[in-house]
Amino acid sequence: AEQDWYHGAIPRIEAQELLKQQGDFLVRESHGKPGEYVLSVFSDGQRRHFIIQYADNQYRFEGTGFPNIPQLIDHHYTTKQVITKKSGVVLLNPVVKDKKWVLNHEDVTLGELLGKGNFGEVYKGTLKDKTPVAVKTCKEDLPQELKIKFLSEARILKQYDHPNIVKLIGVCTQRQPIYIVMELIPGGDFLSFLRKKKDELKTKQLVKFSLDAAAGMAYLESKNCIHRDLAARNCLVGENNVLKISDFGMSRQ
């Protein structure tokens, strides 16, 4: 997990987007078979995926075996030995993971269950520096296409920074279950908030909520993002009653 070229349990489709030039490579954990590791490489205009074989306490492709994956990758990278004779693939450029968003599971302590999402549970959590966060978890037995959908929300939120859009803090993909870690919004979802406070909310405050939602949506439009599921249940009420748009599971760019 310490290797810069190890991207954890990212989906195959996301790995493919990161491979752009001849010899670009990364290692990831297979989504379909947790515990199995895959080398993804860009070679001759194609993105190739090689399962790292493990037998007799050795990791290999088809040649020399090594006691761990870093030694295996380092051997092929430094000697330029082909991964398989048939493929002729050579490792040239390690694709380094974007450390800005990478969190380890050990960095996050899960607390009380806040609710259930489309892909798994949502927990209150804390980071090592005591920052309170919301943690979305992804069920390990979900089909591959749903895991990709789950992670697409984080991929979209990485690009945004606006007071009326919920903030992404990081992603734990080093192993499964995958976590998406977001800022914790104290007021909870807007629909429950409206139902609870319907008798005390003044028109001026309701207009302010509408302005917040409109500002968030205008920002998304400026980023060519269509949310596709804007509703009170998918907005959160932050400090000083600032409305934040969340739940980007249906959105498209």
What residues are annotated to the active site?
229
What pairing do the DSSP bridges indicate for beta strands 93-94 and 24-29?
Answer: parallel
Cis peptide before 177 (omega within 30 of 0): yes
What gap in Å lies between CA 167 and CA 160, rounded to an integer?
Answer: 8
Q: Distance from first CA to last CA of the chain, Å, rounded? A: 31
Q: Is 136 annotated as a binding residue?
A: yes
Let me know: does 38 contact 172? Beta carbons within 8 Å.
no
Binding-site residues for ATP, in ranges, read 136
